[in-house]
């Protein structure tokens, strides 16, 4: 097939892939919690699903429940109005499936069933009242969807309850539910933090989770704990403002919890990293986390942006779809949507493989994702291409990669566009990369830079221009009829790549 024919054929496949991505029906997930009511509309039932729309309303239907036994009247009315709005939004997005659940407040209040009946009319869809065990299990499935290797204890802190469950090898264990959401604790303790702390400590002592947890991780789910992580991130001057997969060693987390639980609402409101709506509840969330770490001997806190809603979506997927790698699925989707010719990403991965013969399966997976995202900056202004593509990958809304892996892929993308220029100091992410991974990022980026210089992303070109590496040389083999593709730019890029591997560049024309 001619070069033009291959280009046209690849363009047809690209458009077919993009059309397929857009053909799925959106799915709405509605979560009626004790504090907030949330709607997320996903673009389809797939592992790579992205949120078309995401909003919440703080209704606090569970406020004062300990004293009254009933849902808060004005909060319930606000929730019904919010659900009526969600119904119209879902209709506007062409949603065909609404998966709606209600959690602690609705299941425990005496007027919970009546509220749910009214809520179903407002939303125009059935609403399932989850048990505490179901809530814990679904939230954990959401965590595993975003952090497949999670091992330890998942804790979902809502306004009304703390739902916990162990996770290991992709499976969930024994669940436990305690009425320790901040709204409940504030009510139960009459605003006395010491009384609240004692109640949490006593409750955890009696809880049996079925597995030893000492030395394992705690996966924190919920807005209160995300707010707490922001405080830590701000204090540590952490360079990557991505909450998902943010880690806090247990000792540091304990110190933070003790400080925050001792601050007044007024003091917390003055902190720029604390949302004002969280200031009242944050000390209670902090004391719960403090007791969890101390009681179970946990080694670290890992923040999960995935939880109940993602778990509900995961349950709508088939077994095959649900088992797919979230990082790779995101990269495949991104490649199909933004690359000039998506097939080139797969060819790029195979073409540079001889350079990385000793990589681990984990490193191979990250390299594959990088190759699929390597053409993400072609529409950007040339002056912003390297820095803009770097930020796009660094802060992309994807799962399945920890912060070190994010930084590696983003840095490689920077070098793919900027060459071997020194990495800008203002990016401040070197500490998350480390010297060994910095070398890997440079090699990945320069390999991709050479590949695009050779092929222009035209399909089929890289397959006939293989790379070979020996102990002394890195050689590019190129057919005689493609010799015109060589030039100063290609020679320079090959030389840069060879230098990054400590080899001598060589071009073999045959």
Instruction: Return left, alpha or beta for 400; rule: phi > 0 is left, psi -120 to 50 is alpha, else beta.
Output: left
- pLDDT tens, residue by residue, 479-502: 999 998 898 999 999 999 999 999
Residue 216 pLDDT greater than 90, yes or no? yes
Residue 38 pLDDT greater than 90, yes or no? yes
Name which of 82, 102, 230, 228 is nearest 160 in CA terms: 102
At residue 276, the pLDDT reads 87
At residue 300, the pLDDT reads 98
Which residue reads 């673009």 in tokens? 43
Helix axes 403-418, 361-373, angle to 10 degrees: 50
Residue 210 pLDDT greater than 90, yes or no? no
Mean pLDDT for all residues in the chain: 92
- How far apart are alpha carbons 299 and 185 in whole angstroms? 26
Domains of the chain by start residue, with CATH: 26-129 (3.30.420.40), 133-310 (3.30.420.150), 326-509 (1.10.3210.10)
At residue 459, the pLDDT reads 93
- pLDDT tens, residue by residue, 50-93: 999 999 999 999 998 888 999 999 999 999 999 999 999 999 99
Residue 475 pLDDT greater than 60, yes or no? yes
Percent of the chain with pLDDT over 70: 95
Residue 273 or residue 499, greater confidence? 499
Predicted confidence band at 18 (pLDDT cuts at 50, 70, 90)?
Answer: very low
Is the C-alpha dihedral spanning 145, 147, 148, 153 positive or negative? negative
- How far apart are alpha carbons 213 and 227 in whole angstroms? 25
Predicted confidence band at 195 (pLDDT cuts at 50, 70, 90)?
Answer: very high
Buried b (16+ CB within 10 A) or exposed e, 406-420: bbbbbbbbbbbbbeb
Name residue 506's beta-bridge partners: 475
Q: How far is CA 274 from CA 24, 192, 490, in A?
A: 38, 21, 51
Q: How far is CA 440 from CA 282, 453, 473, in A?
A: 40, 20, 18
- How far apart are alpha carbons 145 and 152 in whole angstroms? 15
Residue 374 pLDDT greater than 90, yes or no? yes
At residue 21, the pLDDT reads 46
Name residue 249's beta-bridge partners: 300
- What average pLDDT does the segment 396-402 reach? 95
- How far apart are alpha carbons 121 and 27 in whole angstroms? 19
At residue 24, the pLDDT reads 75
At residue 422, the pLDDT reads 79
Residue 277 pLDDT greater than 50, yes or no? yes
Residue 6 pLDDT greater than 80, yes or no? no
Percent of the chain with pLDDT over 90: 83
Lowest mean pLDDT among 7-21, 246-260, 388-402, 439-453: 7-21
At residue 13, the pLDDT reads 53
Q: Report strand pairing: 97-102 vs 127-129.
A: parallel
At residue 16, the pLDDT reads 52
At residue 22, the pLDDT reads 47
Q: From the CA atom positions of the chain, what is the Rg in Å?
A: 26
Predicted confidence band at 3 (pLDDT cuts at 50, 70, 90)?
Answer: very low
- What average pLDDT does the segment 106-117 reach? 95
Please list, in sequence order, all residues whose beta carbon lies within 8 angstroms of the beta carbon of residue 292, skipping any fewer than 6 positions away: 153, 155, 204, 218, 298
Residue 445 pLDDT greater than 80, yes or no? yes
Residue 355 pLDDT greater than 50, yes or no? yes
Predicted confidence band at 472 (pLDDT cuts at 50, 70, 90)?
Answer: very high
């Amino acid at each position: 097939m001619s070069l033009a024919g291959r280009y046209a054929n690849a363009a047809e496949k690209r458009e077919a892939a993009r059309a397929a991505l857009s053909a799925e029906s959106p799915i709405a997930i509605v979560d009626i919690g004790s504090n907030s009511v949330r709607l997320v509309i996903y673009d389809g039932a797939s592992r790579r699903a992205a949120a078309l729309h995401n909003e919440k309303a703080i209704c606090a239907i569970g406020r004062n429940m300990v004293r009254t036994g009933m849902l808060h009247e004005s909060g319930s009315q606000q929730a019904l109005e919010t659900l009526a709005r969600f119904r119209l939004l879902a209709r506007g997005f062409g949603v065909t499936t609404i998966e709606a659940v209600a959690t602690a407040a609705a299941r425990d209040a005496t007027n919970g069933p009546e509220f749910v009946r009214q809520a179903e009319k407002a939303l125009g869809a059935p609403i399932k009242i989850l048990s505490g065990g179901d809530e814990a299990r679904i939230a954990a499935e959401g965590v595993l969807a975003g952090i497949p290797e999670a091992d330890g204890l998942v804790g979902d802190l809502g306004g009304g309850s703390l739902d916990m469950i162990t996770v290991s090898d992709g499976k969930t264990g024994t669940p436990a539910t305690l009425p320790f959401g901040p709204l409940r604790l504030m009510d139960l303790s009459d605003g006395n933090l010491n009384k609240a702390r004692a109640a949490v400590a006593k409750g955890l002592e009696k809880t049996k989770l079925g597995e030893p947890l000492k030395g394992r991780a705690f996966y924190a789910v919920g807005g209160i704990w995300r707010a707490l992580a922001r405080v830590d991130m701000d204090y540590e001057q952490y360079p990557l403002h991505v909450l998902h997969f943010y880690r806090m060693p247990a000792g540091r987390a304990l110190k933070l919890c003790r400080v925050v639980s001792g601050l007044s609402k007024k003091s917390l409101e003055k902190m720029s990293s604390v949302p004002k709506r969280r200031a009242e509840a944050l000390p209670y969330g902090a004391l719960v986390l403090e007791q969890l770490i101390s009681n179970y001997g946990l080694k670290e806190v890992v923040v999960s942006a995935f939880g109940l809603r993602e778990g509900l979506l995961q349950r709508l997927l088939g077994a095959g779809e649900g088992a797919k790698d979230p990082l790779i699925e995101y990269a495949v989707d991104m490649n199909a949507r933004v690359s000039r010719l998506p097939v080139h990403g797969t060819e790029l991965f195979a073409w540079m493989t001889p350079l990385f013969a000793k990589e681990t399966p984990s490193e191979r997976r990250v390299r594959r994702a990088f190759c699929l995202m390597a053409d993400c900056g072609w529409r950007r202004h040339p002056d912003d291409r390297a820095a803009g593509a770097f930020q796009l990958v660094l802060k992309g809304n994807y799962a399945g990669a920890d912060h070190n892996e994010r930084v590696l892929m983003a840095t490689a993308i920077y070098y793919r566009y900027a060459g071997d220029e020194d990495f800008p100091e203002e990016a401040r992410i070197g500490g998350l990369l480390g010297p060994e991974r910095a070398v890997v990022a440079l090699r990945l980026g320069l390999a991709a830079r050479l590949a695009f210089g050779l092929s222009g992303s035209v399909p089929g070109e890289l397959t006939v221009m293989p790379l070979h590496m020996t102990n002394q040389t890195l050689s590019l083999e190129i057919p005689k009829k493609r010799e015109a593709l060589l030039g100063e730019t290609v020679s320079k890029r090959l030389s840069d790549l060879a230098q990054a591997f400590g080899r001598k560049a060589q071009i073999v024309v045959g």
